[in-house]
Amino acid sequence: MKHRRNVILLFTAVFLITVSALSLHLGPRLGKAQHTTAYRVLLDGKTWFYIHDRALVEELLEEYKNEYLSKIDGDAAIKSARFKQKIDIVEVNNYSGKLYSEREAWEEIHSCEEEATRFEVREGDNLWTIGRDYNLTVDEILALNPGLNEDSVIYPGDRITVKAENPRLDVVVVYEITVVEDVPYDTVIIYDSAMYESQRLVESQGVPGKEKKRYEITLENNIEIDRKTLESTVISEPVPAKVRVGTKKTVSRSGSNFGIVRGGRLTSNFGTRVHPVTGKSKFHKGIDVAAPHGSPVYAYSSGTVIYSGYMSGYGNLIAISHGNGMVTRYGHLSARYVKVGQKVSTGQKIGAVGSTGVSTGPHLHFEVLINGSFKNPLKYL
Ligand SMILES: [Zn+2]
């Protein structure tokens, strides 16, 4: 028994010596139960963790900051990069508690107080509806999702960040950058009384201007939080677009109200058709709108009456010149209320629906001529 106890003592002694030797050799890296010099890392005045090497933690912090800097445009001039939190490293003697390994310290520095919130897109969602639900502007959503722009199409199942992650350490970077931006052009509208309200004519295209701008931009965790314009130089002024817009009014069509006659029904279109009376294929120079006998007929637009009389085929016919080569004609009337040379206004009652001339029943035959050629009246109503 005594011999056996000696063997155990011997082994214990060898073990202790070995452990001590290893400890001395490895120094503070062995961690626990070792009384040695350590560094206490404080975050905003509170102990964060302990580590054996000051330079190591400084290096890890610098590396973390550089991860943010590496994402900034290469043309930018970095003015400052700092942590929003206050970090202190204090030397502690005779420390015997837990020491963080390099890996643990790296993970701690990269940790989040709060993970990002992501929203899964559903059918019918767009950036605007998501913004409304999360109280964000579209610009704020774009800032949270660097892969998106205003024109991006999003699909059900896509994940959109609606709240950024909140890292343990916030990195604030300030930089300056010079960019050339487009300056939007204005559109000058020229009102033209010779044209109809529905007509628009682009006389000249606008050209955006160019401006050189120097910005000071502040990012917090890669999200822009401030932008100041330091300098702005005009390279070229924008050239306004010129658009001619008509002011002339016409009657307007809606449902069974054709403007020129109300409560009507389109019975024949403009173009080639088989004539209902002669049976021959013929070009129909206008449209036919069937309406009760005696229904009022209204002037398409303001103008001067150039014909009011009987014409074979048309029966009682009124023609109005609207200027700029435009003429409208109204046929098969049962009554005419205007005379040649008379000025009429838009929507003025000029006659009544009838079936005079070559006609199978009461209807208005309506034609539009531009410089003498027949146009499809439905394009003008
Ligand atoms: Zn007709």
**pLDDT tens profile 162-211:** 998 899 999 999 999 999 999 999 999 999 887 887 778 899 999 999 99
317 CA → ligand 1 middle, Å: 12
The two tokens of residue 318 are 């009124």
Query: Closest by alpha carbon to 200, among 153, 244, 157, 136?
Result: 244
* pLDDT lower than 70: segments of the chain: 1-35
CB of 316 closer than 8 Å to CB of 322 = no
301 CA → ligand 1 middle, Å: 20
Neighbours of ion ligand 1 (CB under 5 A): 288, 365
- Predicted confidence at residue 239, as pLDDT, reads 97
d(CA 59, CA 106): 10
353 CA → ligand 1 middle, Å: 12
CB of 282 closer than 8 Å to CB of 273 = yes
324 CA → ligand 1 middle, Å: 24
365 CA → ligand 1 middle, Å: 4
CB of 140 closer than 8 Å to CB of 131 = yes
- Predicted confidence at residue 3, as pLDDT, reads 52
CATH superfamily of the 265-379 domain = Glucose Permease (Domain IIA) (2.70.70.10)
304 CA → ligand 1 middle, Å: 22
- Predicted confidence at residue 273, as pLDDT, reads 76
The pTM of this model reads 0.56
- Predicted confidence at residue 65, as pLDDT, reads 95
215 CA → ligand 1 middle, Å: 68
d(CA 55, CA 329): 95
CB of 216 closer than 8 Å to CB of 228 = yes
Q: What is the DSSP track for 326-342?
A: EEEEEEEESEE---TT-
282 CA → ligand 1 middle, Å: 11
194 CA → ligand 1 middle, Å: 28
Strand order in the sheet with 200-204: 187-196, 241-248, 200-204
278 CA → ligand 1 middle, Å: 13
276 CA → ligand 1 middle, Å: 10
Kindly tell me the burial class for residue 173, based on how many C-beta atoms sit within 10 Å of its own C-beta (0-12, 13-18, 19 or more): buried
364 CA → ligand 1 middle, Å: 7
366 CA → ligand 1 middle, Å: 7
Query: Closest by alpha carbon to 301, among 232, 366, 360?
Result: 366
300 CA → ligand 1 middle, Å: 17
Domain-wise residue ranges, the chain: 30-74+82-114, 265-379
Q: How confident is the prediction for the chain on average, in pLDDT?
A: 88
- Predicted confidence at residue 61, as pLDDT, reads 96
338 CA → ligand 1 middle, Å: 21
Residues in the chain: 381
pLDDT in tens, 246-280: 888 899 888 889 999 998 899 989 998 777 777 77
The two tokens of residue 53 are 């090497």
